[in-house]
Structures are given as structure tokens and as C-alpha cells.
């Protein structure tokens, strides 16, 4: 084989292997076969819970893998990926844990306490929280007006990239090899509409995958972009900053397309799609737990409406949709609790409903 044809051939082979299997789409959580559900509630990272109580100065089996986790998400800066991490709980790990705890609004102990590990093992987006050591979740950033003290948690990629101002309609297409059904494509249409409702952009599906602004695909394992997927749970999806327009989802997940999602091991497709489109538009991760751009989402959870933090951040980049009425869509969010608990559903009600209820009780 000619040498100049070798690299494209290898890339094509990797790509073909990564999409050869069929993605798992289910109408609801109860339709997922038990054989496809993970054996542990938190998937591949569940073993990190064995490190509970570990602190600086100790050497415990499994710490090296935790360092790899923190390196992947930007908390340990290691430009040389060939360096092997050790099981020593050193100062670099302690610093990484403290930064992580700050970003996720946990007590900044520098130790692997139970709340910290419960957060670490949750399924999450594959986009790093800290990019190139210069951009992180702004858990401590504050702004003050004459009467209001507020914390803004939204972040951007380095240099705050966005789509060009002259592109007000972005096209999107799905990887043809995935053979997605109309019901799956409709999930993404709803996800795009969440963002279009608050900014002056529209999104139009096209059949031309190669020329689309935004290209959406499901892949397995190593798929040629340097960000391999890891199987069931762990990292669910990732996307690239504007104007790259690539959105990749892990083909191995148990994706719920519509209906009830309350099952350990079930991942709501629309929730993940709305989050990843935030990255495609230029948002980084947020420290606000209710925000769409919060990095983690528990299985059995549906979270599809923008919070005020999401709206404020995206409007900094693009301005407001002229038809936007100024209220965050999160006021009507249905949030399904993680089925590690009772499996019940919590529905956040609009603020005005609580006022009416309070008035009624006083009559």
C-alpha cells in the first residue's frame, strides 16, 4: 500500500469500527433489557468509592486511575500523556481535589470524602472542566450591583469562541451510518429549540452531512478525534467549541428517547443533547447544579430546560431572541430523581404558583 494512503486508510478503519454496532435506543426505561443494564449503579467509576477517606501522604491502589480521571478533565496538568501516574496521594492530587470541590460547591477539604466521591462517580460530559489550564468553572466569580449580589457560574471556552455573526441559521446533519429513526432525530430538534428560544439563531436539518455546520454522530470507543468513549456510563458524550460543530455521543449507552427515564442505567437522550449543544454554541461548564451546563447527570434523570445561568451565559455570546420573554424556561423543568432513592419524581413548579398557593392558604 502506498504510504500516502496509509493514514486515511487507518482513520477510516477506526471510524468504521467505532460505528459498526447499533446504538441502543429505547422508548422508555422499562423497555431496556436487564442484560444491558450496568452491574454497578455508577458504571466504570464505581471503584473510586473504595478510596473513601484517602488523604495526602497515603499510597493506595487505585489512586493512579483517579489521577488519570482528574488529568482527563483538566484538574491535573500533564502535557506528557506517556507519563504513568502513581498510587501516591501527592500534593498535585490534593490540589486537584480542592479545585474540583470548589467547582462542584463541595466542602474544600482536599480529601476523598464521601460527598466528593459520590460526585466524581456520576456519569458526565467528556468536555474538560478546565481547558489548557486557563478556563474553569467559575464557582467563585461574583458580580455586584447597587442592591444585588449574584454569582455567575456560566463559563466559555478559551477566548470565548462563537459562531460568526453573519451566520444566523446553522445547519445540522446526522452521521448517515447511524441510520437514526425519525423519533431519535426529533429529540435533537427539541434540543435545538431550547437554545433557539433564547438567542437569535435558528437551526435547520440538512441531509448533507459533509457540509453541515453541526455534525452529530454516535460512536463507540476510539473514533479518531482523540477523545475515545469508555463504554456504558462514564463519559456520555462530548462536543467541540465553535465553529467546529462536532457533537459525538457514546453508542454504548442505554439511550431513552421519550417517556419515563427513571431507571438506574438509563440515560435521557434529550438531556444530554441539550447540554452538548451548549458546548457547540460556545458555553463551557457551569457550577450551578440546576444549569443544563452542569457537567454531570445521574442516570434516571431528565433535565432538558435551560436555567437562568444557561440563558444569561448564551446571551452574552449571541444576544437575546427578540421574542424571548425574559423568563428562564427552567421554571417548568421536570426533574426526575435518581432511582438510587425512591424513584419518585420531583417537578419544579413556577414561582407564581407558589404565591397563589400561599394566598389561598391565608383565605
pLDDT at 83 exceeding the cut of 90: no
Is the model's pLDDT at 86 over the cut of 90? yes
Q: What is the mean pLDDT of residues 53-72?
A: 95
Q: Is the pLDDT of residue 192 over 70?
A: yes
Residue 161, C-beta contacts closer than 8 angstroms, at least 6 positions apart: 241, 242, 243, 282
**Nearest one of 175, 68, 57, 193 to 120, comparing CA atoms:** 68
CA 164 → CA 122, 167, 168, distances in Å? 35, 6, 8
The mean pLDDT value of the chain amounts to 83
pLDDT band, residue 351 (cuts 50/70/90): very low
* The pLDDT value given to residue 94: 96
Q: Which of 270, 276, 288, 290 does the annotation list as catalytic?
A: 276
Residue 338: per-residue pLDDT: 34
Report the length, in residues, of the chain.
363
CB 153 within 8 A of CB 288: yes
Q: What share of the chain in percent tops pLDDT 70?
A: 77
Name the pTM for this structure.
Answer: 0.83
* Residue-level pLDDT at 37: 85
Nearest to 130 by CA among 91, 164, 162, 104: 104
- pLDDT (mean) for 143-172: 80
Could you count the other beta carbons within 10 Å of the beta carbon of residue 330? 21
Helices (H), 154-257: 182-196
Per DSSP, the three-state class of 321 is: coil
Strand partners, 336: 345
Domains of the chain: 43-121 (1.10.101.10), 149-351 (3.40.390.10)
Residue 74 — very low, low, confident or very high, per pLDDT cuts 50/70/90?
Answer: very high
Cis before residue 243, ω within 30 degrees of 0?
Answer: yes
pLDDT at residue 331 greater than cutoff 60: no
Asked whether the predicted pLDDT for residue 47 surpasses 80, the reply is: yes
Number of H helices, E strands in the chain: 8, 12
Q: How many CB atoms lie within 10 A of CB 257?
A: 18
Report the alpha-carbon distance of residue 81 to residue 239 in Å, rounded.
Answer: 21
Grid cell digits, residue 362: 391565608
Closest CA to 50 of 37, 40, 39, 38: 40
Rounded-to-integer distance, Cα 60 and Cα 63, Å: 6
Predicted pLDDT of residue 328: 58
Q: Are 250 and 258 in contact (CB under 8 A)?
A: no
CA dist., res. 11 & res. 319, Å (int): 39
98 in catalytic set: no
Q: Cβ neighbours of residue 204 under 8 Å, at least 6 residues apart?
A: 169, 170, 171, 172
Amino acid at each position: 500500500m502506498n504510504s500516502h494512503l496509509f493514514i486515511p486508510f487507518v482513520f477510516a478503519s477506526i471510524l468504521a469500527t467505532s460505528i459498526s454496532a447499533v446504538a441502543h435506543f429505547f422508548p422508555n426505561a422499562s423497555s431496556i433489557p436487564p442484560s444491558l443494564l450496568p452491574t454497578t449503579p455508577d458504571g466504570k467509576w464505581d471503584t473510586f468509592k473504595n478510596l473513601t477517606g484517602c488523604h495526602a501522604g497515603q499510597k493506595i491502589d487505585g489512586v493512579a486511575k483517579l489521577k488519570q480521571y482528574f488529568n482527563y478533565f483538566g484538574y491535573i496538568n500533564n502535557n506528557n500523556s506517556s507519563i504513568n501516574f502513581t498510587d501516591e496521594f501527592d500534593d498535585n492530587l490534593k490540589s486537584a481535589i480542592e479545585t474540583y470541590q470548589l467547582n462542584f460547591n463541595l466542602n474544600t477539604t482536599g480529601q476523598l470524602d464521601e460527598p466528593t466521591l459520590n460526585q466524581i462517580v456520576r456519569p458526565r460530559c467528556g468536555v474538560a472542566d478546565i481547558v489548557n489550564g486557563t478556563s474553569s468553572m467559575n464557582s467563585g466569580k461574583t458580580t455586584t450591583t447597587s442592591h444585588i449580589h449574584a454569582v455567575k457560574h456560566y463559563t466559555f471556552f478559551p477566548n470565548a469562541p462563537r459562531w460568526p455573526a453573519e451566520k444566523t441559521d446553522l445547519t445540522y446533519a446526522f452521521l448517515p451510518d447511524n441510520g437514526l429513526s425519525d423519533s431519535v432525530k426529533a429529540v435533537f430538534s427539541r434540543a435545538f429549540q431550547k437554545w433557539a428560544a433564547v438567542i437569535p439563531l435558528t437551526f435547520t436539518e440538512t441531509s448533507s452531512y459533509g457540509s453541515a455546520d453541526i455534525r452529530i454522530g454516535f460512536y463507540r470507543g476510539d473514533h479518531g478525534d482523540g477523545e475515545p468513549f469508555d463504554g456504558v456510563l462514564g463519559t456520555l458524550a462530548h462536543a467541540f467549541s465553535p465553529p467546529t460543530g462536532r457533537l459525538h455521543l457514546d453508542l454504548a449507552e442505554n439511550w431513552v428517547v421519550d417517556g419515563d427515564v427513571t431507571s438506574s442505567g438509563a440515560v435521557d437522550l434529550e438531556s444530554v443533547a441539550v447540554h452538548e449543544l451548549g458546548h457547540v454554541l460556545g458555553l463551557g461548564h457551569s457550577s450551578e447544579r440546576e444549569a443544563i451546563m452542569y457537567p454531570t447527570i445521574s442516570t434516571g434523570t431528565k433535565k432538558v430546560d435551560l436555567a437562568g445561568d444557561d440563558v444569561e451565559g448564551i446571551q452574552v455570546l449571541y444576544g437575546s431572541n427578540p421574542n424571548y420573554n425574559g423568563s428562564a424556561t427552567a421554571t417548568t423543568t421536570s426533574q426526575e430523581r435518581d432511582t438510587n432513592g425512591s424513584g419518585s419524581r420531583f417537578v419544579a413548579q413556577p414561582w407564581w404558583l407558589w404565591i397563589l398557593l400561599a394566598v389561598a392558604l391565608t383565605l
